[in-house]
């Protein structure tokens, strides 16, 4: 069985083999086995995927918040092929470099906010955030302030799955392994208006949510705090959008206490919020910026960490080795694909498309669901959205057990041709950025039918 080419094997055969040999991320393997194995995805084109049974799915999650340009872009494969022929691999350690990584770093410097001009490369968002922690520690060591150790993250944050990045997470479950979070990580409140019983556009709440960070800093002792890390819009935590004024006040607080600001742009970067970066949408000037996912539209694994003047100076201005890096830091094939991906996003006006077409269509069509009996709140920006369900619109109570109804809606959506994701009692959406208005209609149409069916069965 192992020697058969994939194309000749039936779906059930593939599922059986997967169950026998493949360990999946973030999966209850007993549930997977009880359901007879995973759905096997065979190919993709534009915003659509197909599975081994020939069923078509509209990909409401852009793979996993990453396939910004959509599936099947031949140009990216061609660039990868050319680069493999020319130079499949060389490292960027020990005073060497190569053209693709030089071109990519130069390109990123032109797209990121002013001051973010230098880039360190890795392979995943988790590694980018681990790198950010190293950079923060390096910065404070260079200032001869090594007691500044604590990095403040937030409840509901997702920053990755390596031991350090998992420590930054604020989601239940991520700290299940004993010993996490690692030392020097603290958590504060998220600006989650729905859970706080506040309106999305309440400026008082924006200020209060940010002031909670100041209170946390004072509790920990400002002299011990090294950095604050945040996603401009919290993604995997349930598309938690910042209330008005939140980021302005957070930045003021970071400046007051001389704390570095790290933006985790792993989801928000490369057009997701309707600008190149979430930092631009929310007028944030970070000291460190982490990116991955949309950097290559998920075609190859690559991530980057951008540094502003303070952090760059700590690395460039002092002798001493920065003892950190990965074999594949700045991998030439991944870098070439990322560069081409960025060029295509630019040439096709994809970021403007999100801001002027896809984003407004998602806002309009998903926003209309607010009247649905199961829906408590619809929130989002650009092409990242959440539909929060509730059993009681007045008290905002979830269903019992929490997540049971959202999971039912999610499963039904998959059966009816829409890939989405349930987060607590909500459904989240992050389709490829190239999604057009008719496809938004199709997506929200399937979702609405599934909400109706589930509501009728309650």
CB of 422 to ligand PXG, least distance (A): 10
CB of 35 to ligand PXG, least distance (A): 18
CB of 124 to ligand PXG, least distance (A): 3
For residue 88, the tally of other CB atoms under 10 A from its CB is: 11
Residue 64 as a binder of ligand PXG (CB under 6 A): the answer is yes
Give me the residue label for tokens 């400002």.
222
CB of 231 to ligand PXG, least distance (A): 5
Contacting ligand PXG (CB under 6 A), which of 68, 92, 124, 390?
124
Residue 272 as a binder of ligand PXG (CB under 6 A): the answer is no
Which residues does 266 contact at the CB level (< 8 Å), separation at least 6?
Answer: 65, 125, 128, 129, 159, 160, 231, 235, 290, 291, 292, 293, 303
The Cα–Cα gap between 292 and 161 comes to: 14
From 37-45, 124-132, 240-248, 443-451, span contacting ligand PXG (CB under 6 A) = 124-132
Using Cβ positions, the residue closest to ligand PXG within the complex turns out to be 125
The Cα–Cα gap between 235 and 229 comes to: 14
Residue 58 as a binder of ligand PXG (CB under 6 A): the answer is no
Which has the closest alpha carbon to 207: 233, 180, 246? 246
The Cα–Cα gap between 298 and 9 comes to: 26
Task: Please identify, using beta-carbon distances, which residue of 64 and 212 lies nearer to ligand PXG.
Answer: 64
DSSP conformation letters of 310-364:
HHHHHHHSS-S------TTTT-HHHHHHHHHHHHHHHHTTHHHHIIIIIHHHHHH
Task: Please identify, using beta-carbon distances, which residue of 129 and 281 lies nearer to ligand PXG.
Answer: 129
The SS3 assignment for 417 reads coil
From 50-58, 125-133, 146-154, 342-350, span contacting ligand PXG (CB under 6 A) = 125-133
Contacting ligand PXG (CB under 6 A), which of 159, 249, 275, 410?
159
How big, in percent rounded to 5, are the helix, strand and coil portions of the chain?
45, 15, 40
Q: Is residue 164 within 8 Å of residue 151, measured between CB atoms?
A: no
Residue 126 as a binder of ligand PXG (CB under 6 A): the answer is yes
Contacts of range 177-183, beta carbons closer than 8 Å, 24 or more positions apart: 183/149
Residue 163 as a binder of ligand PXG (CB under 6 A): the answer is no
Residue 125 as a binder of ligand PXG (CB under 6 A): the answer is yes
Q: Which tokens in the block code for residue 268?
A: 């928000």
Task: Please identify, using beta-carbon distances, which residue of 64 and 109 lies nearer to ligand PXG.
Answer: 64
CB of 268 to ligand PXG, least distance (A): 8
Q: Helix 203-220 crosses helix 246-256 at what angle (to 10 degrees)? A: 30
Contacting ligand PXG (CB under 6 A), which of 70, 113, 160, 432?
160
From 105-113, 136-144, 157-165, 275-283, span contacting ligand PXG (CB under 6 A) = 157-165
Number of residues forming the site for ligand PXG (CB under 6 A): 17
Task: Compose the 200-239 pattern: x for residues touching ligand PXG by CB under 6 A, - for all others.
Answer: -------------------------------x---xx---
The SS3 assignment for 17 reads helix
Which has the closest alpha carbon to 169: 114, 126, 122? 126
Q: Is residue 69 within 8 Å of residue 344, measured between CB atoms?
A: yes
Residue 113 as a binder of ligand PXG (CB under 6 A): the answer is no
Residues between 418 and 437 that touch ligand PXG (CB under 6 A):
421
Contacting ligand PXG (CB under 6 A), which of 119, 140, 156, 158?
158
CB of 173 to ligand PXG, least distance (A): 11
Which residues does 319 contact at the CB level (< 8 Å), separation at least 6?
Answer: none
Whole-number Cα distances in Å, 391 to 177, 193, 372, 373, 452: 33, 18, 12, 9, 14
Task: Please identify, using beta-carbon distances, which residue of 314 and 333 lies nearer to ligand PXG.
Answer: 333
Residue 59 as a binder of ligand PXG (CB under 6 A): the answer is no
Residues between 307 and 366 that touch ligand PXG (CB under 6 A):
none
The CA-based angle 392-233-335, given to 5 degrees, is 140
Contacting ligand PXG (CB under 6 A), which of 209, 267, 433, 454?
267
From 13-21, 99-107, 111-119, 259-267, span contacting ligand PXG (CB under 6 A) = 259-267
Residue 266 as a binder of ligand PXG (CB under 6 A): the answer is yes
CB of 221 to ligand PXG, least distance (A): 27
From 78-86, 94-102, 158-166, 273-281, span contacting ligand PXG (CB under 6 A) = 158-166
- How would you write 116-155 as a 3-class SS string? CCEEEEECCHHHHHHHHHHHHHHHHHHCCCCCCCEEEEEC
Q: What are phi and psi of 176, to 5 degrees?
A: -65, -30
Which residues of the chain form contacts with ligand PXG (CB under 6 A)? 64, 124-126, 129, 158-161, 231, 235-236, 264, 266-267, 292, 421
């Amino acid at each position: 069985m192992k020697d058969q080419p994939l194309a000749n094997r039936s779906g059930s055969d593939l599922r059986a083999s997967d169950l026998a040999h493949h360990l999946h991320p973030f999966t209850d393997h007993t549930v997977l086995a009880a359901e007879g194995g995973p759905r096997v995805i065979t190919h993709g084109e534009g915003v659509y995927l197909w599975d081994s049974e020939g069923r078509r799915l509209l990909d409401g999650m852009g793979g996993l918040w990453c396939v910004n340009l959509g599936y099947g872009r031949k140009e990216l494969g061609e660039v990868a092929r050319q680069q493999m022929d020319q130079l499949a691999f060389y490292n960027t350690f020990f005073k060497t470099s190569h053209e693709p990584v030089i071109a990519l770093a130069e390109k990123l410097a032109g797209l990121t906010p002013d001051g973010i001009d230098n880039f360190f490369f890795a392979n995943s968002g988790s590694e980018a955030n681990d790198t950010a922690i190293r950079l923060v520690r390096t910065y404070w060591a260079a200032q001869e302030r090594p007691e500044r150790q604590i990095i403040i993250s937030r409840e509901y944050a997702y920053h990755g799955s390596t031991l350090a990045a998992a420590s930054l997470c604020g989601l239940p479950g991520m700290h299940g392994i004993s010993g996490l979070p690692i030392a020097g990580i603290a958590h504060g409140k998220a600006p989650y208006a729905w859970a706080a019983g506040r309106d999305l556009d309440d400026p008082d709440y924006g200020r209060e949510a940010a002031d909670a960070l100041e209170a946390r800093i004072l509790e920990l002792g400002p002299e011990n705090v090294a950095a604050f890390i945040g996603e401009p819009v919290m993604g995997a935590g349930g598309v938690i959008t910042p209330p008005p004024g939140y980021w302005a006040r957070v930045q003021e607080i970071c400046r007051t206490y001389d704390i570095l600001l790290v933006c985790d742009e792993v989801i928000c970067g490369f057009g997701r919020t309707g600008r190149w970066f979430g930092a631009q949408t929310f007028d944030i000037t970070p000291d460190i910026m982490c990116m991955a996912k949309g950097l290559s539209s998920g075609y190859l694994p690559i991530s980057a960490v951008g540094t502003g003047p303070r952090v760059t100076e700590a690395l460039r201005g002092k002798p001493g080795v920065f003892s950190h890096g990965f074999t594949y830091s700045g991998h030439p094939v991944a870098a070439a694909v990322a560069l081409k991906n960025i060029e295509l996003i630019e040439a096709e006006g994809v970021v403007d498309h999100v801001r002027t077409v896809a984003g407004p269509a998602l806002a309009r069509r998903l926003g209309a669901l607010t009247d649905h009996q199961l829906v408590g709140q619809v929130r989002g920006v650009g092409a990242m959205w959440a539909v929060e369900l509730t059993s009681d619109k007045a008290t905002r109570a979830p269903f019992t057990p929490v997540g049971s109804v959202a999971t039912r809606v999610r499963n039904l959506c998959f059966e009816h041709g829409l890939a989405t994701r349930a987060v607590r009692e909500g459904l989240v959406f992050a389709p490829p950025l190239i999604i057009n208005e008719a496809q938004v209609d199709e997506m929200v149409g399937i979702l609405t039918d599934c909400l109706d069916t589930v509501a009728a069965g309650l």
